[in-house]
Amino acid sequence: MRHSGAAMEQTSQDNGQSSRTSAKMAFASIGVVFGDIGTSPLYAMREALHPVVRAGGDLRVAVLGVASLLLWALILIVTLKYVIFLMRADNKGEGGILSLVVLVETLLKKRGGFALALGIVGAAFFFGDAMITPAMSVLAAVEGLSVINPGFDSYIVPLTLVILITLFLFQYRGTAGVAALFAPVTAVWFAVLGINGLVHIFDDFEIFLAFNPAYGLNMLLSQPGLALLVFGGVFLAVTGAEALYADMGHFGKKPIRLAWLSVVFPGLVLNYLGQGAFIIAYPHSVENPFFLMAPAWGVVPLIILATLVTVIASQAVITGAFSVAQQAMALGLFPRMNITHTSETEQGQIYVGQINWLIMVGVILLVLVFKSSTNLASAYGIAVNTSMIVDSILAMIFFWKAPTLPRWLVLPALVFVLVIECTFFAANGLKLASGGYMPVLIGSTIILLMVTWMRGRRALAEKLRKESIELVPLLESLEKRQPTRVAGAAVFLQTDPVYAPSALMHNLKHNRVLHDRLVFITAETTSEPRIDPNDRVQVKQLPLGAWLVEARFGYMEQPDVPAALRACEPFGLSIDPMQASYFLGRRVIRISARSALPFWQQRIFIMLTNQSSRAIEFFRIPPGRVVELGMQMSI
């Protein structure tokens, strides 16, 4: 009995420790995961009601209908789809659209190209969202100045640009120094949302009728044309929902679910209900209900807090773009780019310079072209909506092939959510002419670049295969007629372990020497997010005393050749990565009339190849130990 009591006490302590850890992680997630969706009350209700105001409809009925649609969008899309269903579709704890693509590709096997095509579309439109979200959110926060004094209108765009440019200029330093403030500031924001909303619910208790979905359905069925315009605004309430799934690997399922259900969802619901009741009581407030709800003394602090939270939300989206870019590079969808790790302790804290500057230019152009959050709202929904539809389709395939939940339960629910998302898509499609073309243009451009890069790499690999010599027969022939050997170790990077790397052939042709120790290494990206260090390398001995090393890296990891070489020691290959010579082939691509790619696509591929970062930086090879051998070829 004594042992049993001790065991029960230990179990109780473990459960308590686990609960405290989950609570801490849940609090931390508030500052990263929920910033985007948390800024939606700044504009969602306002934008959803604008079509009704312009049409001169019954404002009270419209408010109840819109409030109902807002609440049920949060319940069905965020809570049901992402929190309950999609967070079960994890790749060893990792979430996000490209992780889901890898999962579905594995399940579909030979038909995985369909999942990859969907993933390309979803990832491309995510980058469109990464440009629009900072512009939209910060503009909406700074526009609170016009509530204080309409004369401040002329300062809104310049101040927004100053805030955003400063944000991008400091990206290279990482967020480690200020990340500790993200959660407290955002938690205060959700508390303010809830309290401000709760106070104004007393303006008209009739707003509780919004929990009845019949009010939203009645708006949709009685005035379908107007309802579609309203839907475009309602959708703004769920932008940022995909972050719950994408950031699952950083915080875990339980903390994100806990934060959503205990803090974020109640705060959003109370604020939307408060805005609705306030508008019913004071119809003139429909122009900007969020800031007009605040007492006069609280407007300036609320603007400051809103600006801080929108910057935090923008930071989360930018960091997410870096992460998606890293995964896209690992999966062969993007050319190599230099990745800088900005934290010694947090593996996911990275900086990708090319992505940072591209997004910054896009954000600046969006602010200058659209000038207000109302104008930008037309462009906002389509990018996120497209990514959400892709998530739903991939999720249905996943739960059909790997039924972690009963199919009869999850599939009808996801089909229902997909129908709702397609309705939102139709509503957002009405905004194409007034700004919706922007995310379509951005997304289509990125899709074109991704497809061109994939086709070019495939054509290049095929040509290299045809022109290459198999490695083992070559080494066997060299064993019989050995060239001059020099002291030291030579490491040759190769893309295919079967064929001799071009750098080896050029070294033999021009230098006619070989090092005493030869190592051929391939760096393979797997369908797993991270690889166990014990499974990092496979080592095999080859003729001529050479070694073949096959290094495996997860798609969330940065390839590191020196680290892979150090991992070979237990297999009998002892080599000092800082003393070895690394032989790399550097290809100069030329346009060819006989290429599988048309001329215009060859030009794009050559441009992407020239912009690609050098293998030295990407594979973390010591730059002072590298010998690069150039060669010209066409595809």
Q: Which of 131, 160, 186 is nearest to 384 (CA)?
A: 131
CB 23 within 8 A of CB 252: no
Task: Give residue limits of the domains in the chain.
Answer: 40-330+350-428, 468-634
Each as own residue / partner, the long-range contacts of residues 348-352 (CB below 8 Å, 24 or more positions apart, any chain) are 348/249, 348/250, 348/319, 348/323, 348/556, 349/174, 349/175, 349/176, 349/319, 350/322, 350/323, 350/326, 350/558, 351/171, 351/172, 351/174, 351/322, 352/322, 352/325, 352/326
Tokens standing for residue 11? 């179990």
Q: Distance between CA 566 and CA 541 in Å, rounded?
A: 16
Cα 252 off chain centre by: 16
The predicted structure's pLDDT at residue 171: 86
| pLDDT per residue as tens digits for the range 117-145 | 999 999 999 998 889 999 999 999 999 99
**Domain 40-330+350-428 CATH assignment equals 1.20.1740.10:** yes
Q: Which of 529, 485, 397, 480 is nearest to 116 (CA)?
A: 397
- Fill in the DSSP letter of residue 499: B
CB 95 within 8 A of CB 86: yes
Q: What is the dihedral of CA 427, 432, 436, 438, to 10 degrees?
A: 160
Q: For the packed helices 224-234 and 373-401, what is the interaxial angle rounded to 10 degrees?
A: 90
The predicted structure's pLDDT at residue 331: 85
CB 600 within 8 A of CB 441: no
CB 240 within 8 A of CB 35: yes
Q: Which residues of the chain have pLDDT under 50?
A: 1-4, 6-12, 14
The three-state secondary structure class of 567 is: coil
Q: Distance between CA 491 and CA 494 in Å, rounded?
A: 10
CB 399 within 8 A of CB 89: yes
Residues 6+ apart with CB under 8 A from 16: none
Q: Distance between CA 338 and CA 325 in Å, rounded?
A: 11
Q: Distance between CA 113 and CA 61 in Å, rounded?
A: 47
Q: Distance between CA 520 and CA 497 in Å, rounded?
A: 8
Q: Distance between CA 342 and CA 323 in Å, rounded?
A: 13
The predicted structure's pLDDT at residue 8: 41
The three-state secondary structure class of 349 is: coil
Tokens standing for residue 102? 């890898």
The H or E element containing residue 21 is: helix 2-30
Name the pTM for this structure: 0.85
Sheet holding 484-493, edge to edge: 537-541, 547-553, 513-525, 484-493, 581-590, 626-634
- Fill in the DSSP letter of residue 598: -
Q: For the chain, state the CA radius of gyration.
A: 28
Residue 618 amino acid letter: F
Q: Distance between CA 327 and CA 352 in Å, rounded?
A: 12
Q: Distance between CA 567 and CA 547 in Å, rounded?
A: 14
The three-state secondary structure class of 254 is: helix
| pLDDT per residue as tens digits for the range 553-576 | 988 888 999 999 999 999 999 999
If one counts every other C-beta atom within 10 angstroms of the C-beta of residue 312, the result is: 28
| pLDDT per residue as tens digits for the range 372-398 | 988 888 788 888 899 999 999 999 999
